[in-house]
Amino acid sequence: MKSPISRLAEAVQESPTLALNEKAALLKERGEAVIHLGTGEPKSKTPIDAIIAAAGKLTSAEVKYTPTDGIPSLKKAIVRYTEENYHKRVGVENVMVSAGAKAALYSLLVSILDPQDEVVILAPYWVSYPEMVRLCYAKPVIVTPEDGRFEPSFKEIREVVGSATKAIIVNSPNNPSGAVYSADLIKALVEFCEKNNMYLIMDDIYHKLMFDGLKPVSCYKYARNFSDSSRLVVINGVSKLYAMTGFRIGWAVANKKLISIMTNIQAQTTSCPSSLLQAAAVGALNGIQSYVDSLTATLQNNRDVMIRELEAINGVKVIKPQGTFYCLPDFRAYSKDSVALSRKLLERAMVVTVPGKEFGMEGHLRLSYCGSMKDTLEGAARIRWALDPDSTKEIYIGDRKCVRDWK
């Protein structure tokens, strides 16, 4: 009997993280003091400029369809954002607004990939990259850097490129590691992709969330081809930088021919992003930008606390993140099975983490420090109690006193 579900859909990997989140939700419902260090959104409030803009649109009672590629005011705001932050002048015809950066990336992949094409993905990578590529009947090719590093060398990347390679995806600052790729690597990739007529996809959703005085590297600085044959694509959005994850507004900047094709794809799937939420994005991009500086300062302080606490755990190796709001410590001294380790920490310590397996880094856990300082401190303390035999044997989880009775 023929399956009612497509082979393609059945092949999409189910995320262990979803099961862990469901279990955490059930524990919370039972009154357990669960701490979520797996979250991917800042605790900060959405900027007031975005809220006012959305409220104004809503009270107008004119929440209608928009052009498929976005409202003119938002496209103009993105053009200005690109000029101010990338030092590159583009036109509105180079911009497509989407229902989140993820939707922009998927429209792009559908637009450029044929079956059996290959896309080079740099580990650690965002969990959806490989599955999105497979949904286009193409093949993800993973580049894993040598042990102990989160930035692959250009040599490691170049060695996996072949005649079937259509694109390379770069995410810097990187989710899940917080690594910021060097200017030398970005330069080498831009020049290599131009020379070999390959797409270079820059997923810049964490673009300005960088610490210790670091500044974003503009990929356009090294590009030479700005014609309609350019294969440089920048993906971005308001989700992370402005704590607007639920607004689902992203965009792509590319050559106008590709943008036209992507817009045609989007027209057949989502028609257009929400007019209400696009108005909010205009408010965020055109509003007071000191919000971003304040968020970055808060995250840097949280990062310093998280790293200090993790370094106190025997056997845990951690590389200090340079951006985002994640770190990816190495827990292989305790378990090489990150899914089992995440499950154990949830069951024993009531702490939610994300298995490194999800990101192509088995034996690691992704921990987020974008929540409250209290959660960061207590979550790290619980992890230490659950794993480190040299730590205190007793700890309070909520109002319940717990004693470690395992080795």
Clarify whether residues 35 and 67 are in a common domain.
no
In 153-232, which ranges are continuous DSSP H helix?
154-160, 183-195
Clarify whether residues 251 and 133 are in a common domain.
yes
Check which CATH number belongs to the domain holding 35 and give it.
Answer: 3.90.1150.10
Strands 354-355 and 250-253: unpaired
Domain-located, residue 2: no
Clarify whether residues 108 and 194 are in a common domain.
yes
Q: How far apart are CA 348 and CA 404, in angstroms?
A: 9
Domain-located, residue 240: yes
Structure tokens at 252: 């792509």
Clarify whether residues 269 and 122 are in a common domain.
yes
Clarify whether residues 273 and 192 are in a common domain.
yes
Q: What is the total count of domains within the chain?
A: 2
Would residue 87 be called left, alpha or beta, if left means φ above 0 and alpha means ψ between -120 and 50 degrees? left
Q: What are phi and psi of 160, to 5 degrees?
A: -100, -5
Clarify whether residues 55 and 40 are in a common domain.
no
pLDDT score for 370: 94
pLDDT score for 298: 95
Q: Tell if the pTM clears 0.85, that is, is over it.
A: yes
Q: Which of 235, 251, 286 is the last residue of a domain?
A: 286
Q: What stretch of H or E contains 152?
A: none
Which amino acid, 52? I
Clarify whether residues 318 and 330 are in a common domain.
yes
pLDDT score for 20: 75
pLDDT score for 14: 77
Domain-located, residue 112: yes
Q: Which of 234, 257, 286 is the last residue of a domain?
A: 286
Check which CATH number belongs to the domain holding 251 and give it.
Answer: 3.40.640.10
Using CB atoms within 10 A of its CB, is residue 389 exposed (0-12), middle (13-18) or buried (19+)? exposed
Domain-located, residue 1: no
Clarify whether residues 322 and 369 are in a common domain.
yes
pLDDT score for 234: 98
Residues in the chain: 407
Q: How far apart are CA 351 and CA 365, in angstroms?
A: 12
Structure confidence by residue, pLDDT tens digits, 299-338: 999 999 999 999 999 999 999 999 999 999 999 999 999 9
pLDDT score for 18: 73
Which amino acid, 199? Y
Using CB atoms within 10 A of its CB, is residue 361 exposed (0-12), middle (13-18) or buried (19+)? buried
284, 239 contact by CB (below 8 A): no
Domain-located, residue 66: yes
For the chain, state the CA radius of gyration.
22
Chain centroid to Cα 9, Å, comes to: 23
Q: Which of 266, 286, 306 is the last residue of a domain?
A: 286
Domain-located, residue 355: yes
52, 283 contact by CB (below 8 A): yes
Clarify whether residues 39 and 106 are in a common domain.
no
Half-sphere CA count of 290, side-chain side, radius 13 A: 2
Domain-located, residue 346: yes
Clarify whether residues 75 and 214 are in a common domain.
yes
User: Whole domain around residue 301: which residue ranges?
Assistant: 7-45+290-403
Taking residue 110's Cβ as centre, other Cβ atoms within 10 Å add up to 17
Q: How far apart are CA 223 and CA 221, in angstroms?
A: 6
Clarify whether residues 201 and 297 are in a common domain.
no
pLDDT score for 41: 85
Half-sphere CA count of 250, side-chain side, radius 13 A: 25
Clarify whether residues 317 and 227 are in a common domain.
no
Q: How far apart are CA 351 and CA 334, in angstroms?
A: 16
Domain-located, residue 321: yes
Regions of the chain short of the pLDDT cut 70: 16, 407
